[in-house]
A and B are shown apart, each in its own frame.
Chain A
Amino acid sequence: MSDARLISLTVNGETREAMVEPRKLLADVLREDFGLTGTHVGCEHGVCGACTVLIDDQPARACLTYAVQMEGHEITTIESVGGIGLSPLQQAMHEEHGLQCGFCTPGIVMTFEAFLRDTPDPTEEEVRDVLSGNLCRCTGYQNIVAAVMKAAAAMREVRS
């Protein structure tokens, strides 16, 4: 389209460029232009949380954000979480069976990587409150809550 323009985004610490229309969603640019398909699109109206990424270290909905708005900001996606192995949260999700179909999982991991960084010793009630921004149709949430609590404990252990 004629109004496409070249933008430059910082994603997972790398600078990447794409020709995009101003209306193109961040979620679509991440997935289609950059091949970062771990960010999932579940509702396209900001409720389900599957598309959650970090913008300047804060969780945000990639389906409600235009990519052109993101120049000058740091985007972090699921692809950067963990390293050679799994992060403590990813490991706890695995051990506690905190996922079934896994479609909502990257959004939940991104939400709680940020939450646990800021809230190292949460109550179960706080975890449930934050988790209410992510819909999961498979698990009933109980095991996700258990995984977040376990990860929090594991991360506190490492910090101390």
Chain B
Amino acid sequence: MNETNDFHYIGKPLARKEDKRLVTGQGRYLDDVVVPGTLHVSFVRSPHAHARILGISADAARDLPGVTGVFTGEDLDKWTNRLRLAPQIEGLHPTEIATLPTDKVRFHGDPVAVVVARDRYIAEDAAELVEVEYEVLPAIASLEGAFAPDAALVDETLPSNLVSHQTFSAGNVAQRRGEAHEVVEASFYQHRQTHVPMETRGCAAVWDAGREHLTFHIGNQVPHPLRSQLAGRLGLSESQITVMSPDVGGGFGQKIALYREELTVAALARQLNRPVRWREDRTENLMAASHARENLCRTRASVDADGRILGLELEITEDFGAYCFYPANYMSRVVAMILTGPYRIEDYAFEVKIALTNKCGNGPMRAPMAITSWVMDGTIDAIARQLGLDPLAVRRINMLRPDDLPYRMATGEVLEDITPAETLESVIDAIDYEAFRKRQQALHAEGRYIGLGLCTVVESTTYGSAFYKSTGIPGSGHEAAWVRIEPSGVVNASVGLGATGQGYETAMSQAVAEGLGVDPSNVRIHIGNTDVAPYGMGSRGARGGTAGGGSLYLCAQKARDQVLRIAAHKLGLNSAQDIRLLDGQVERLINGEWNRTGLSLADISRTAYLDPTNLPEGVAPGLDFSLTYDPPPMTYSNSSHACEVEVDVATGALSIARYVVSEDCGTVINPIVVRGQQQGAIAMGLSGALLEEVVYDENGQNLSATFADYLVATACELPNFDILHHHTPNKRTPAGIKGMAEGGVMGAIGAVTNAVNDALAPFGVVADRQPLSPQYLRSLLRERSGTALHEGQELT
């Protein structure tokens, strides 16, 4: 698959096909799908973080005109199967979730009952009339609380709140500690966040009793796995369900799992034999959809006098919330697996501890392993601080060089076709590191504090089946595609991805165009409908490009081979060796030059469909192709980020003066789309590191359930991003695609925090938690009386 020859359609900056309908308001999102006669639901949600359900009184709600019914966990337990999660992973406890709770609620916002009514207004009115009697239990609202000796159990079927615990060791970190010139310890706390797609969750379920078939409209990233989940939970077969994902207003990982509310709606449609729909409001989305992150990492690096890392130890603890929609170790385990990233570290050990708490459950959010690069490059900065070395020098001395590759990380993961040293040097050049240091010194005299943060990312992208197998997670990393050339020569194609704004209709048409040899304008991509699309694993973990684009590219090549075989026959040639398809025209190589033969794809498809007796012997009629593709266990992209900030030490206000990133994500299918993903990922990282924060008080009350409390960055807080390209193809994937779109988050949170610490270095303080709010930065400065330490100066 080592194809790095010149592409004709891959790599072209085609403006997106999706745009016209979206800029004119003609996109069709879930709520735009009209379902006649539909009923609407509203969920009754717990006001308590942790409480036993003693009784539910719904008479007043049922009496409200327009209300069809009120249903509880007892009803749903009869109509659906529970979610049992018990993968064979050492140290991970199996868990089980009812569709709606029957015994107790586990977080503020947990759904306890559902109201069905004629419209959403009435449903919400009725939900307020449902009275639930609770016995309030002690709330577990922090990691410390979860691990306290007498802690209440979030899940009473478990022996403790430690739902998952794994350790790993390669080499001998204890011995390295003994040999070290110094041992450097550092700590990193990443706060709780949530995905905030601009379109909240929602769904519409239509049960056809005559055909015993469910049509489920839902904006979702993984239509086929979702259909399998629905079938299993409803006791239906996969042939009885069609999942249709229309235009989706963002996902970022929130639209993967089958949530309890969605399953409830599907079950109600079947039970009531009426269409039922749900539109989540923003408060529900912020409180009860899915949360992410909130982990605490501690590192201990054994280093020599030059800052070379001899051994590294990581302890990561994650606050997972109340429910496991994913194996609890899933996100943190990836952090631990790839922590060492761009650095040469042979002796490495980690411990991963996951706690259940009375908060909304965690799930993967764009860059589930987001904290990784901050922890690693933040540890490098801690080494530089402690040893009095230049942080850039410490990076250089530890970084993998081209002749180290392929490199087997201590965890066994193999890095190949990556260029971290190259991307680092290119951002250093672009930002002019030496000039920055001089400017920084000069500004100190004016009482101004600027800082430069560096962060180099090795981003795990396409997760192949072999990766899942090796980590014990059930499932596959394969993807599937079909390509059909219709009788007129136009091309339809499909893949199992679920679009949430990535421009697949454009980029994926370029992958097909390249494999086949037609202009992308002649290719239409059909995705999101499980009756149309092949069974693939959908969109998650930056797999769209390599798994999705790769399978379409390979499938289109399969189609091309057949087309050329027919073409050779029509041209009276013995083989297809010296002919090709370009822009839908068959060309022949004569004396080293390609010449058009006058034969087009339309001529060939007409023969294939309408005149099959003229096909070569052994060629069946039609031009209909399908293919599945399992990517390598893992592919990696890499990037280096440089962020310049200024901290106003009087107020703690942080401003970003410049942001440069150099990225290698392999072959780029569409540079416009890739640049948009890079910008969007960095923006999400900065927004999270600076502003966003899910806040629970000590009783587990969620205090951040509106956009006035949960702050998402606006155009005024984010800078422009300079993006440098350093793309080198992956030798093991179709067309050399690597995948991307999460690394920007990883690099941004590391680069901006490292920059703040560089700016605050004269004060001898270190920001080791996020968000980097003015209040937090001021609190650090207050601890040191806000006085800068300059050469030879003591703290006052």
Determine which of B65, B247, B503, B683 lies in contact with A140 in the assembled complex, contact meaning CB atoms within 8 Å. Answer: B683
| Given A100-B502, A100-B503, residue A78 in contact with residue B683 (CB < 8 A) | no
Q: Which of A79, A101, A138 contacts B25 (CB 8 A)?
A: A79
Are A47 and B706 in contact, with the CB atoms below 8 A? yes
| Distance, CA A23 to CA B502, complexed state (A) | 37
Residue from the list B121, B250, B684 in contact with A103, Cβ < 8 A: B250
Q: Is A97 an interface residue (CB 8 A)?
A: yes
A152 within 8 A of B: no
Q: Is the C-beta of A74 less than 8 angstroms from some C-beta in chain B?
A: no
Q: Is the CB of A105 within 8 A of B22?
A: yes
- Residue numbers in B under 8 Å from A24 (CB-CB): 121
A142 near B25 with CB under 8 A, answer: no
Give chain B residues whose Cβ lies under 8 Å from the Cβ of A17.
Answer: none
Complex: A140 Cα to B16 Cα, angstroms = 18
Q: Is the Cβ of B22 less than 8 Å from the Cβ of A104?
A: no
Instruction: Tell yes or no: B718 within 8 A of A by CB.
Output: yes
Contacts of B714 in A (CB 8 A): 131-133, 135, 141
* Distance between Cα atoms of A24 and B119 in the complex (Å): 11
B429 within 8 A of A: no
Q: Give the complex CA separation of A78 and B197 in angstroms.
A: 21
- Asked whether B197 lies within 8 Å of A100 as measured between CB atoms, the reply is no
Q: Give Cα A106 to B22, complex, Å.
A: 8
Interface flag for A114 (CB, 8 Å): no
Q: Is the CB of A37 within 8 A of B31?
A: yes
Query: In the complex, what residues of B have CB within 8 A of residue A61's CB?
Result: none
Q: Does A95 contact B (CB under 8 A)?
A: yes
Within 8 A of A (CB), among B55-101: 65-66
Per the bound structure, the CA–CA distance linking A44 and B34 in Å amounts to 21
- A139 CB, min distance to chain B CBs, angstroms: 6
Chain B residues within an 8 Å CB radius of A9 = none
Q: Name the segment of B343-351, B375-383, B674-682, B749-757 touching the other chain.
A: B674-682
Q: Are the CB atoms of B15 and A140 closer together than 8 Å? A: no
Q: A117 at the A/B interface (Cβ < 8 Å)?
A: no
Give CA–CA (A95, B19) in the complex, Å: 9
A94 touches B23 (CB 8 A): yes
Contact yes or no, B24 A141, CB < 8 A: no
- In contact, A40 and B249 (Cβ under 8 angstroms): yes
In this complex, what residue of A is CB-closest to B286? A43
Residues 198 to 256 of chain B near chain A (Cβ within 8 Å): 198-200, 247-250, 252
| Complex interface: chain B residues within 8 A of A131 (CB) | 714-715
> B672–A77 contact, CB under 8 A?
no
A85 to B673, CA, bound (A): 23
Residues 10-35 of B contacting A (Cβ, < 8 Å): 15-16, 18-20, 22-29, 31-32, 34
Give Cα A94 to B247, complex, Å.
Answer: 17
* B488 lies within 8 A of chain A by Cβ: no
Name the residue on B nearest A127 (C-beta): B715
A109 to B21, CA, bound (A): 13
A93 to B20, CA, bound (A): 10
B789 proximity list for chain A (CB < 8 A): none
Is there an interface contact between A141 and B683, defined as CB atoms closer than 8 Å? yes
Tell me if B196 and A137 are in contact (CB < 8 A). Answer: yes
Known contacts A48-B198, A106-B25; is A43 also within 8 Å of B282 by CB? yes
Inter-subunit contact A102/B281 (CB<8 Å): no
Counting CB contacts under 8 A, is B435 at the interface? Answer: no
Most buried by A among B29, B679, B714: B714
Whether B673 pairs with A43 at a CB distance below 8 angstroms is no
B633 within 8 A of A: no
Is B712 in contact with chain A by the CB < 8 A criterion?
yes
Q: Once bound together, how far apart are the Cα atoms of A42 and B281, in whole Å?
A: 8
Please tell me if B707 contacts chain A, counting CB pairs below 8 Å.
Answer: yes
CB neighbours of A135 from chain B (8 A): 198, 707, 712, 714
Pairwise interchain contact B23-A99, C-beta atoms closer than 8 A: yes
Give the contacting residue for B250; candidates A78, A109, A137, A142; CB below 8 A. Answer: A137
Is B198 within 8 A of A132, CB to CB? no
Complex CA–CA separation, A138 to B252 (angstroms)? 9
Residues in B with CB closer than 8 Å to A105 are 22-23
Q: Is A23 within 8 A of B23, CB to CB?
A: no
Contact of A86 among B23, B196, B503 (CB under 8 A): B23
Interface size (B, Cβ < 8 Å)?
54
The tally of CB-CB contacts under 8 A between chains A and B is: 165
Asked if B47 is at the interface of the complex by the 8 Å CB criterion, the answer is no
* Minimum Cβ distance to chain A for residue B246 (Å): 11
Check A97–B676 contact: CB distance below 8 A: yes
CB pair A95 B15 closer than 8 Å? yes
Residue of B nearest to A2 (CB): B65
Whether B721 sits at the interface, judged by CB under 8 Å, is: yes
> Could you say which residues of chain B place their CB within 8 Å of the CB of A90?
23-24
Q: Does B733 contact A (CB under 8 A)?
A: no
For B23, the chain A residues whose CB sits under 8 A away are 86, 90, 93-94, 99, 102, 105-106, 109
Complex alpha-carbon distance, A103 and B501, angstroms = 9
The chain B residue sitting closest to A144, CB to CB, is B715
**Set of chain B residues within 8 Å of A133, measured between Cβ atoms:** 714
Residues of B within 8 A of A39 (CB): 25
- Interface status of A122 (Cβ within 8 A of chain B): no
> Chain B residues near A129 (CB, 8 Å)?
715-716
The answer to whether B31 and A99 have CB atoms under 8 Å apart is no
| B32, B249, B673, B679: residue with the most chain A Cβ atoms closer than 10 Å | B249
Contact assessment for A101 and B708 in the assembled complex, using a CB-CB cutoff below 8 Å = no
Q: In the bound complex, how far is the Cα of B716 from the Cα of A128, in angstroms? A: 6
Q: Binary interface profile of A, 50-67, with partner B (CB < 8 Å = 1, else 0)?
A: 100000000000000000
Are B19 and A99 in contact, CB atoms less than 8 angstroms apart? yes
- Judge whether B282 and A45 touch: CB under 8 Å: yes
Q: How far is the CA of A143 from the CA of B723 in the complex (A)?
A: 13
Does B720 make an interface contact (CB < 8 A)?
yes
Contacts of B200 in A (CB 8 A): 42
Chain B positions within 8 Å of A42 at CB level? 198-200, 249, 282
Q: Which chain B residues lie closer than 8 Å to A139 at the CB level?
A: 676, 679-680, 683
Q: CA A143 – CA B196 in complex, angstroms?
A: 20
A70: chain B residues at CB < 8 Å are none
B540: shortest Cβ distance to chain A, in Å?
Answer: 16
Find chain B residues with CB under 8 A from A101 CB: 197-199, 247-250, 500-501
A141-B715 contact, Cβ under 8 Å, with A43-B282, A100-B680: yes
Q: In the complex, which residues of chain A have a beta carbon less than 8 angstroms from the beta carbon of B502?
A: 100
Nearest Cβ on chain A to B509's Cβ, whole angstroms: 16
Give the complex CA separation of A140 and B675 in angstroms.
11
Contact flags A16-45 to B (C-beta < 8 A → 1, else 0) = 000001011000000100011111111111
Residues in A whose Cβ lies below 8 Å from that of B25: 36-39, 77-79, 81, 106
Interface centre among B196, B676, B679, B715 (most CB of A within 10 A): B715
Let me know if A137 and B247 touch, CB within 8 A. Answer: no
Q: What residues on A are CB-neighbors of B503 within 8 Å?
A: 100
CA distance A40 to B30 in the complex (A): 11
Question: How many angstroms from the CA of A43 to the CA of B282 in the assembled complex?
Answer: 5
A11 within 8 A of B: no
Q: Is A75 an interface residue (CB 8 A)?
A: no
- Which residues 104-159 of A sit at the B interface, judged by CB distance below 8 A? 104-106, 109, 127-129, 131-133, 135-145
Q: Which residues of A contact B675 (CB under 8 A)?
A: 97
Partner of B706, one of A21, A36, A45, A78: A45
* B680: chain A residues within 8 A (beta carbon): 100, 137-140
> Which chain A residue has the least Cβ–Cβ distance from B252?
A137
Measured CA separation A135–B282 after assembly (Å): 13
CB distance from A28 to the nearest CB of B (A): 8
Chain A nearest Cβ from B488, distance in angstroms:
27
Do B721 and A86 have beta carbons less than 8 Å apart?
no
Q: Given A102-B247, A109-B23, A142-B721, decide whether A137 and B684 contact each other with a Cβ distance below 8 A.
A: yes
Q: Which 3 residue pairs spanning A and B have beta carbons closest together?
A: A38-B25, A140-B683, A103-B249
16 contacts between A and B (CB under 8 A): A37-B31, A39-B25, A40-B29, A42-B199, A42-B282, A45-B707, A48-B282, A97-B676, A101-B248, A102-B19, A128-B716, A132-B715, A132-B716, A137-B250, A137-B684, A138-B501
**Chain B contact residues, CB within 8 Å of chain A:** 15-16, 18-20, 22-29, 31-32, 34, 65-66, 121, 196-200, 247-250, 252, 281-282, 500-503, 672-673, 675-676, 679-680, 682-684, 706-708, 712, 714-716, 718, 720-721
